Amino acid sequence: MTSSPKVLYLGIQAGPRGEDEGVDGSGEFNGRKIYFQSKLERNRFDASRAAEFYGNLCIHDAQIGIMLSGTGYTDGFRTRLNKGPNLDQKFRIHLLSLFDVFSETPDFQVATLDLPALQSLCNGNWKILIP
């Protein structure tokens, strides 16, 4: 009997689709746990989103956090996120927008060092089947 293949997106296991239709997932690359969250909303993320992201990093026991927003982040988001206890010692954080992904900005290039499969967002090959 053959089991159905496991589907991975960006090389990580997708979590359940949230009430807000956001996508998140977690996985491991080079022995480091990664938490990925994507919310492609029209507005930049404000401070209210920072605690949620930090909390998910802790819940998933991640060492690397990657957030993808549609349009970016407010200064309030960054300030609130940086108030997380020992943020720099616990996590490596990548805050990306769609502009970063499609323009392949320096921030995006640094994030691909922690999750190389991010490069596939630009070419559409982000779905991987594992037998």
Give the tens place of pLDDT for each residue, 52-68.
Answer: 888 888 888 899 999 98
This prediction has a pTM of 0.78
Q: State residue 9's pLDDT score.
A: 53
Q: Which pLDDT tens digit goes with each residue over 10-52? A: 555 666 555 655 557 778 888 889 998 888 788 899 998 898 8
pLDDT the model gives residue 40: 79
User: CA 72, CA 2: separation in Å to the nearest integer?
Assistant: 43
Q: Which two tokens stand for residue 97?
A: 């927008």
How far is Cα 80 from Cα 66, in angstroms, rounded to an integer? 16
Fold of 24-124: Trna Endonuclease; Chain: A, domain 1 (3.40.1350)
CA dihedral sign, ordered 20, 95, 110, 103: positive
CA atoms of 32 and 61, how far apart (whole Å): 10
User: What value, to the nearest 5°, has the Cα angle with vertex 74 and ends 66 and 36?
Assistant: 10
